[in-house]
Amino acid sequence: MAGHMDTIIGREGKMKHASKPAPAEGTKRGYTIQAVVRAASIINAFQSTSEVLDLRVVAARTGLHKATTFRLLETLVETRMLERAGKQGYRCCVQTARAKRYRIGYASQSNLLPFTTTVSDSLGVAANAANIDLLVLNNGFSPRVALQNAETFVAEKVDLVVDSQINVAVAAQIAAKFSDARIPFIALDIPHPGAIYYGADNYKAGRMAGRHLARWAEKNWKNGPEQIILLGVDAAGPLLNARLTGVLDGINEVGQYARTVPTHHYDTKGGQFEATLDIVRRHIRRRKPERALVGAVNDSTALAALQAFREVGLERACAIAGQDGSVAAREEMRRASTRLVCSVAYFPEMYGERIIQLALDVLKHKPVAPAVFVPHELITPQNVDKIYPNDSWMKVKPNRV
């Protein structure tokens, strides 16, 4: 039918027909079945057939009451439009047509850091679940490569960029390239001009570690520490090294040690293990520490420092705080009498889902905060199994096929 027809009576008394304009999109029509509309909204809440949502998320995305949402979900399961995934999850069995398949660029900091590798893996999984194309490049700790990668994303005309690079010297240049191309971007861990920041509250995380170090020293060293070692990343500027400022302030809050003992700050060349190992070896030879508190910018530098003390038989002369809560750090904290006394976890395995949701909010022009901080939690040898109870699964060898 070409359109809706209303019958009217003209001035001549003759029957005439006038075209009635179609209702505007979103207008409730007389023949619309609202139950079907609601069921369709449930199906459209799923962004792909691999995405698993629970009742709370579906209700939030559709704006429907939870009770209504539950009844519709169960009905759609019965009709095989949805299927249950786990105890509380649902998965859509219908591939819906999408107006646009987004393409997101992701530049990882490096594939050498366990934390970054975990973030990259979780982003890949989340992008696939959201039906998003992810173009992955590697900045490799290089400002030159980071600039080249930014130019590649612009040339590829991606819809949004997630950038993880630590060199503040080129942050403004990278930001300008994306701004000129009108490409929104999310900066991981290191803020960039004009970007939405996603990552740690570095100072807060440092204070958590510093307070725990000082409490550990009060409990285990009668005379307290005689030196403090800080392992930072100077290329990232004051923002990442705010973790170390927080460490000192946290120590002062508890024990006042940072005001009475010498402090040694070292640049670890991007937070890498081998560079840190050499630095701490040299420090041990020169300073001969007896009771050293070590605040590290990440777990790679923390573990390198621990190895340097351990290989010369001075492990008991240190107490070390890491950052990231990495798998390797958690494994070390399960060793009896370890001197890696804590690490602050940011849960990188959860970054992907949260970053992709943030990216979708930006692309759909929803209001977003200029900075999104990740959850922080102090991990110690005493609580590591409680916070990460499933780590042992990763050590189980699969049965041979």
Residue 258, pLDDT score: 66
Per-residue pLDDT, averaged over 80-98, amounts to 84
Residue 398 has pLDDT above 60, yes or no: no
Q: Name the CATH topology of 33-97.
A: Arc Repressor Mutant, subunit A (1.10.10)
Residue 396 has pLDDT above 50, yes or no: no
CA distance 217 to 24: 70
Per-residue pLDDT, averaged over 9-21, amounts to 40
- The CATH number assigned to the domain with range 103-200+350-373 reads 3.40.50.2300
Residue 200 has pLDDT above 70, yes or no: yes
* Average pLDDT of the chain, as a whole number: 88
3-state secondary structure at position 342:
strand
Q: pLDDT band for position 400 (50/70/90)?
A: very low
Residue 184 has pLDDT above 60, yes or no: yes
Q: pLDDT band for position 28 (50/70/90)?
A: low
Both structure tokens of 223: 């005379």
Per-residue pLDDT, averaged over 278-302, amounts to 97
Residue 221 has pLDDT above 80, yes or no: yes
CA distance 113 to 321: 17
pLDDT tens-place string over residues 303-331: 999 999 999 999 999 999 999 999 999 99
Both structure tokens of 320: 């070390």
pLDDT tens-place string over residues 133-179: 999 999 998 999 999 999 999 999 999 999 999 898 999 999 999 99
CA distance 54 to 113: 33
Pick the closest to residue 56 from 40, 44, 73 (CA basis). 73
Q: For residues 288 and 309, is the Cβ–Cβ distance under 8 A? A: no
Domain 202-345 has CATH 3.40.50.2300: yes
3-state secondary structure at position 134:
strand
Bridge partners for 345 per DSSP: 324, 377
Residue 98 has pLDDT above 70, yes or no: no
Residue 354, pLDDT score: 95
Both structure tokens of 148: 């080249």
Prediction pTM value: 0.73
Residue 279, pLDDT score: 98
CA distance 324 to 26: 47
Distances (CA, A) of 165 to 46, 123, 141: 32, 16, 7
Residue 97, pLDDT score: 60
Q: pLDDT band for position 29 (50/70/90)?
A: low
Same fold yes or no, 103-200+350-373 and 202-345: yes
CA distance 372 to 211: 24
Bridge partners for 295 per DSSP: 230, 321
**Domain residue spans of the chain:** 33-97, 103-200+350-373, 202-345
pLDDT tens-place string over residues 262-288: 999 999 988 889 999 999 999 999 999
Both structure tokens of 79: 């009709």
Report the share of the chain in percent with pLDDT over 70: 89
